[in-house]
Structure 1
């Protein structure tokens, strides 16, 4: 991984979970890391951990920013370039989620998931692409298996991840003449704060457990992050957090969604009384990162 040493990476949603672990992985390979997120205290702790793990003189610094704030994201990128001299890698990772039936969801919270995950990724790309064009760099968009296989009770998250997948694929050809490569990362359920928080909802956890194997499994975080790091090094167009997810890319993409739709309809009907009885528990995004994004809704 020595070819990454000396480069600079900006990672959104870097306070915890995949973003934080990826920042630590890159710092250990000599990459300067700019951590962007909404939890300043946690970001500072992650930046300190990155600095302790860094090799080849790499450094880390945190920036508090809402990825849906265009002016602030532009300002952050300008400051990152001023601080480190260039921007070589950008990872659009920030994301939140809610669960439960669409008709029982809070409209503002549902829309906020779309805003953070999809429009936040678009805002991030708009901010970083000028600097990446100068460095002939690499943009990695974190998508999800949910982009390929939408599932019931996750309409906001699946919609946003399908959107970022399409956006990144469209963008790839547009920026290729500038020497910029664009990749899309697909992960299944991965052991992060967000997934663990979602599993605290017993009804949603039961629903997930009944998805077809291996779509109901939770993968370990560290191996997934290592695959993301390798994808960044290779400037890959497609990166898979779990090896089996790769097979979903080449299957007829209507197959598993059709299976999930048939089984999902039965499961939603079976769970409907419990979902209705616990609907008030799902009015906010899951996990501390999701709650931070809700508190920081722009005026």
Structure 2
């Protein structure tokens, strides 16, 4: 048996309709896991589950709905008998200068990414405690490196990193291990959606290598799956991210010095954000908008 085999394990993945979540479900299933997909987009969830096989199940739920997640957790345990791994992956993003951000959109990013991760933990930790399982919180390069025009996303990902690190000693007493997963720009709908904004795309292109590169999805997810198999404390989807950890205390100083120069060079282009407020990026953002509208109606 491979040291990274997931045979006989049950893995729950939020944000599993597309991108990292969908690909991770496929990889873990290929390694023997029974996977439970949680997300907003019924058709996409069903298609991913069908592509995996009969042991894959899907549940429609918004991570901002705590009671819905608790119901989903109960139903997954009822179907599979246990839960061994939970990956808190659901996330959305927006980009704009803070003063030109739509406060409702900005706050929604915090609600989904940070509060949604806490809701995921509240819902699934009883099952993970019973199985002495593993909780992986997906963070980001944005947790290691602050960035202008990305205040909501950076704040949310720094928050989920801190949440996971704070949970780790508490849950160790219950036999549950906690990890944090870090990804740089990876080829997903979210990143492609962000690149549709000319200003955001050009801002990212001006970053130094390797921060300005978009990385392929498949190898990034294979590394995440390896980390899950090891129940690692830190999981790096791109190997070079590991080297960011020892010097992360320097990045705010560097960004603080270089950021104003980059922004000044953009000149009047920054005014576009005030003239045309930005919403959530990508198809995942559109799905969250649709879900919120349906709840209001």
Q: Please give the per-residue CA displacement for 1:13-55, whole angstroms capped at 9, x wherever unaligned.
A: 000000000000001111111101011011111111121xxxx
Match of 1:190 in 2: 186
Match of 1:293 in 2: 288
Q: Does 1:240 align with 2:236?
A: yes
2:29 to 27, 30, 33: 27
On the 8 A contact 1:212/1:260 being kept in 2, the answer is: no
Match of 1:105 in 2: 101
- Show structure 1 runs of 5+ residues with no match: 52-57
| Structure 1 residue 265, shift from structure 2 partner | 1.1
Aligned length: 292
Q: Give distance in 2, aligned partners of 1:99 and 1:77.
A: 32
Match of 1:266 in 2: 261
Match of 1:41 in 2: 43
Q: State the TM-score, normalized to the length of structure 2.
A: 0.95
| Structure 1 residue 282, shift from structure 2 partner | 4.6
Q: Please give the per-residue CA displacement for 1:227-268, whole angstroms capped at 9, x wherever unaligned.
A: 1000000000000010000000122x2222322222211122
On the 8 A contact 1:224/1:242 being kept in 2, the answer is: yes
2:71 to 69, 75, 88: 75
On the 8 A contact 1:143/1:161 being kept in 2, the answer is: yes
Q: Give distance in 2, aligned partners of 1:230 and 1:165.
A: 19
Match of 1:224 in 2: 220
Q: Give distance in 2, aligned partners of 1:156 and 1:126.
A: 23
2:133 to 131, 137, 142: 137
On the 8 A contact 1:203/1:274 being kept in 2, the answer is: yes
Q: Give distance in 2, aligned partners of 1:196 and 1:3.
A: 32
Q: Give distance in 2, aligned partners of 1:32 and 1:267.
A: 47
Q: Please give the per-residue CA displacement for 1:166-206, whole angstroms capped at 9, x wherever unaligned.
A: 00000000010111000000111011111011111111111
